Structure 1
Amino acid sequence: MAGVITASEPSWTAPFSGLSPHQFGKLVTALRREGADPDRKGRPWSLPLEDRMLLVTAHWRTNLTLRQLALLFGVSKSAADRIADHLGPSLVLQPRKRFRRDAVLIVDGTPVPTRNHTVAEQSKNYRYSTNHQVIIDADTRLVVVVGRPLPGNRNDCKAWELSRAKDAVGRTTVVADGGYRGTGLVIPHRRERGQAELAAWKEEHNASHRKGRARVEHAFARMKTWKILRDCRLKGDGVHHAMLGIARMHSLALAGYRANGQAIRHVRDHLRDKPYDLMHGWR
């Protein structure tokens, strides 16, 4: 059975992966270097690595079922299942282990509606969701760490530690919203009990804080163009692998690519905005 969609035709790449043909080719090369397509005994894969990767990214990008995608790629439904189970974990973003001394990160949690109720709970949007702590570099806006998913009813100050996001960043300066009170992160100024309004300089700092922290909200908006993050049907660690894989592709599409498959940061001179300054806010 011949497939309709194939990675050999560049016009299919962007709508079904979110990457340009050049970025997609670089990612395929990186996966080969990382051992995603080893020589093995037994029956070979029904699709080459490029088509297998396009099938997985198309699943995340469109949220079509694997049965529907199997028809489009000319394989059986069971073959599509095996491809997704094998290649999905290979696409995940590896958390950054070291940060610049002057690095500033931004963290926030985002809910992902998940049908697997064993890993989800009803959140504030009344849907069964998982809470994902996502950390971006304030300078480059690239995703650097994604915490383990937690039930959607966990608040961010608890999820920050339980998701292992706190351990991943060490002592690096991290900016967050007011929901992270008591965590030691940089959060907005709050009015004390009985205080009618904040001092003018505190209001100015808060306005600067909101402007900078919006960058992580923009990252969520871009990541959720991969529609599986709007209604995830995957079981077990599937939602975690999808979140990590989409974080990797989002960063790749945003900032370019490094030989080992991880997104690199822009040169600061090419950025319009300067990094966060704890004394003066977002300059």
Structure 2
Amino acid sequence: MAGVITASEPSWIGPFTGLSPRQFNKLITALRREGADPVRKGRPWSLPLEDRVLLVAAYWRTNLTLRQLGPLFGVSKSTADRIVAHLGSALALQPRRRFRREAVLIVDGTLLPTRDRTVAASSKNYRYSTNHQVVIDADTRLVATIGRPLPGNRNDCRAWQDSGAKAAVGTTPTVIADGGYRGTGLTIPHYRRHKNEELPAWKKEHNASHRTVRTRVEHTFAHMKSWKILRDCRLKGDGVHHAMLGFARLHNLALTG
């Protein structure tokens, strides 16, 4: 059965991956180098690596069911399921191990509606969600690392440490965050110690500068949430984590070219 969507037609690449054809080819080359397309025994994949990567991106971008998406690529639902399971983790962003001494990072948490109740919990924004700690470089806006998902009822102070994001950042000199990270040692806005306290002008100026820089992580969230699977994730287990890391890798590749 012939598919409608194929990576051999460049016009399909941009809408589903957010990459130019050149950037997409760069990604494919990197995946092959990392061993994502090994020669294996038995029946070979029915799609080349390029089409398999495009299928995974299309699944994340549209949140169609695999029964709907498979025929668009000329494969069955079960084949599409195996492709997503195999390549989801291969597309994941590898966290940075080293940072510049003068680097400034920004961390914030975001809640994603997730149906798998073994990793999600009821939260204030959604019925069931997961908390994801995302760290970006303030200068380049590249995603540096994403912590493992925690139930959505965990506050950001606890999620910062328990997700592994704190350990991944290590001793980076400056990490800024919002007021929800009070007591973590991160750089947060000045706050009033009691309700009648008035902040001096210099503290207000610092807070305004802090907000201006910290909005960059909000812009990253807005870009990531254009992928519809993050609005209602049906993936189980590590699927939501792999999806977040996959978006981060595509986001970084789109920025760096």
TM-score range, shorter chain: over 0.9
Query: What whole-Å deviation, never above 9, does each CA across 1:234-255 have from its counterpart, x for those lacking one?
Result: 0010000000000110111122
Q: Deviations over 1:196-232 (max 9, x none)?
A: 3100000000000001000000000011111111110
Aligned length in residues: 256
The normalised TM-score by structure 2 is: 0.98
How far apart, in 2, do the equivalents of 1:214 and 1:80 lie?
37
Amino acid at match of 2:226: T
Q: How does 1:1-283 map to 2 (within 5 A)?
A: 1-172=1-172, 173-193=174-194, 195-256=196-257
Unpaired segments ≥5 residues, structure 2: none
Cα distance in 2 for residues equivalent to 1:208 and 1:4: 49
The RMSD of aligned alpha carbons is 0.8
Q: Distance in 2 between matches of 1:103 and 1:230?
A: 32
| One-letter amino acid matched to 1:234 | L
- Give the distance between the partners of 2:126 and 2:104, measured in 1 at CA: 33
Q: TM-score under structure 1 normalisation? A: 0.89
Structure 1 CA distance for aligned equivalents of residues 37 and 28 of structure 2:
10
CA drift of 1:161 comes to: 0.1
Structure 1: where are the runs of 5+ without partners?
257-283
1:274 aligns with: none
Greater than 6 Å deviation, 4+ residue runs: none
Distance 2:113 2:241 in 1: 12
Q: Is the 8 A contact 1:150 1:159 kept in 2?
A: yes
Cα shift readout 1:2-47 (whole Å, capped 9, x = no counterpart): 1000000000111122211111111011000000001111000000
What SS does structure 2 have at the residue aligned with 1:121? coil
Q: Displacement, 1:194?
A: 5.2
Whether the 8 Å CA contact 1:95–1:144 is kept in 2: the answer is: yes
Distance 1:207 1:94 in 2: 33
